[in-house]
Amino acid sequence: MNRIEKVMRRIKENKEKAFIPYFMAGDGGLEALQQRIIFLEETGATAIEIGIPFSDPVADGPVIQAAGIRALQEGTTLKAVIQTIAGVRPIVHVPLIIMTYMNPIIAYGIEKFIEDSCHAGIDGLILPDLPIEEETMVTSLAEKFGIEIIRLVTLTSPLERIREISSKGKGFIYAVTINGITGARSRFDEEAVEHLKRVKSVSTLPVFAGFGISTPSHVEEMIHYCDGVIVGSKIVEFFSENNLSAIKELIRAAKIKRTIKQ
């Protein structure tokens, strides 16, 4: 059983809420990659999402784009990230999820990428520019090697499409809570809450909210309506400032036991 599936079962059985932090691999150098994975696991992350720097990140806002540029300037490559993860995997137990776009994978070679990711101990992939109509180029190999594909639904996704997406895989659904790119927001409107309720009403998988969540109060608010949250831009920002206590506060906000509001 994939580590992601195991963790999803655990949080359901224990009625826990999940917190998945995102950070950019290579921002601060590859040596920081291992350090940050270890820190996030020790701090209580349910799983860890690791971004791959790319020159044209269409879903990413200014903070993550800047982190990607810094990582590329450090000479970070997809192959180097996978090798670095392989080095830390023996001492880290939480699921590790790669977030990347398709161009770096195609340049690497899809089959080679999936095989190397498996051997490195990578558990899942988030591929925001791969629609489900074209995903078989990846999913058949990912399934063979035991890697979970995490799929996204947006505020504009029709209910039938959400139902179709949620029927695939054994991980979780990434519910995007804003229209637009990643980045901190001051508040969430009722549309985001209704979106989470709608996804929860049809999904057979746990539902995680992401995009725009940036404060402990955001975490506490959004986690009432879903199974967990994903925080990216603020984690990237706090790592760049070496503000580790702020990261701990974000994760702690998800650990208070709550029930899902209807």
Residues known to be catalytic: 49, 60
State the distance between the two ends of the chain, measured CA to CA, in whole angstroms: 31
CB 78 within 8 A of CB 52: yes
Contacts of 9 (CB under 8 A, 6+ apart): none
CA-nearest of 141, 146, 62 to 105 is 141
Output the CA torsion sign for 74, 238, 232, 258: positive
Burial of 117 (0-12, 13-18, 19+ CB in 10 A): buried
